[in-house]
């Protein structure tokens, strides 16, 4: 599979000819050079309802007919608007021909419409386990994500203010014992400005993974 980080919390996965977008915050995202019209998603996975995660979801899903996959209450809201949805709740997994999406807890709030709860995502694609922490503070249960299989790649927020900061996120990296970690959700807005080295300095050397924004890599 090919994975692309488009800055902030926007991630693209290409597998089996399918395009999967996670938290497609494109309009207003200061990092990505992509535009909504560059995408034709088959699935859109959302961690929660804040605008910097929902982003261009409705416009994209209307255009492509993508299935929106997110926590149950938020999914129901989209279903009422006529979108195709899958909405498991915490601990539940939905199986697709390209992989599995498990909705897992994250400690964060939601106050917009649609409502729903904040989540992380555990993806199992081509046998690889990917943990997308979403917006969250540090909590010890995140180590359960890799309970049966070591996490191959984890995206961890390091921005502080709305989520974990670099210190807690580096602790989280060790706690979850992922093979590789990518720091995300930082530098987008003034309150989450961070020096990424404040994260890397406390992360085990073998876990470090860097990628350029908008540049696909193989996993
Ligand atoms: Ni948020
Ligand atoms: Mn956010």
pLDDT tens per residue, range 65-78: 999 999 999 999 99
Q: How far is the CA of 162 from the centre of ligand 1 (A)?
A: 7
Q: Which alpha helices (DSSP H) does the chain contain, by range? A: 51-54, 57-64, 72-80, 166-176, 197-200
- Give all domains of the chain, ordered by start, each with its CATH number: 2-214 (3.60.15.10)
Which stretches of the chain are assigned E, i.e. beta strand?
2-5, 11-15, 18-22, 43-45, 67-69, 84-86, 93-96, 99-105, 119-125, 128-132, 153-157, 180-184, 217-218
Distance 110 CA to ligand 1 centre (A): 7
Cα(111) to ligand 1 centroid in Å equals 9
Q: Are 130 and 153 in contact (CB under 8 A)?
A: yes
Cα 43 to middle of ligand 2, angstroms: 20
Q: Which protein residues have a CB closer than 5 Å to ligand 1 (ion)?
A: 50, 135
pLDDT digits (tens, 9 = 90+) for 190-204: 999 999 999 999 999
Tell me the three state secondary structure of residue 36. Answer: helix
Confidence label for 139 from pLDDT (cuts 50, 70 and 90): very high
pTM: 0.97
Give the whole-angstrom CA distance, residue 204 versus residue 72.
36
Distance from the alpha carbon of residue 162 to the mean position of ligand 2, in angstroms = 7
CA of 88 to the centre of ligand 1 (A): 19
């Amino acid at each position: 599979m090919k994975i692309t980080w488009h800055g902030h919390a926007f991630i693209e996965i290409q597998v089996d000819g399918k395009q999967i977008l996670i938290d497609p915050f494109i309009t207003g995202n200061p990092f990505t050079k992509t535009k909504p019209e560059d995408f034709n998603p088959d699935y859109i996975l959302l961690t929660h309802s804040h605008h910097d995660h929902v982003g261009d979801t409705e416009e994209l899903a209307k255009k492509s007919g993508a299935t929106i996959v997110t926590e149950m209450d938020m999914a129901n809201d989209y279903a009422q608007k006529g979108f195709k949805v899958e909405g498991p709740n915490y601990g539940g997994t939905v199986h697709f021909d390209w992989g599995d999406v498990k909705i897992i807890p994250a400690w964060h709030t939601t106050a917009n419409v649609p409502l729903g709860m904040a989540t992380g995502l555990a993806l199992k694609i081509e046998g690889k386990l990917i943990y997308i922490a979403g917006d969250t503070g540090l909590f010890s249960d995140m180590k359960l994500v890799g309970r049966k299989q070591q996490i191959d790649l984890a995206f961890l927020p390091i921005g502080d203010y709305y989520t974990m900061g670099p210190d807690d996120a580096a602790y989280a990296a060790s706690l979850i014992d992922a093979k590789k970690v990518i720091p995300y959700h930082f530098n987008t807005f003034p309150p989450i400005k961070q020096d990424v080295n404040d994260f890397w300095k406390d992360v085990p050397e073998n876990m470090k993974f860097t990628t350029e924004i908008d540049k696909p890599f193989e996993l």
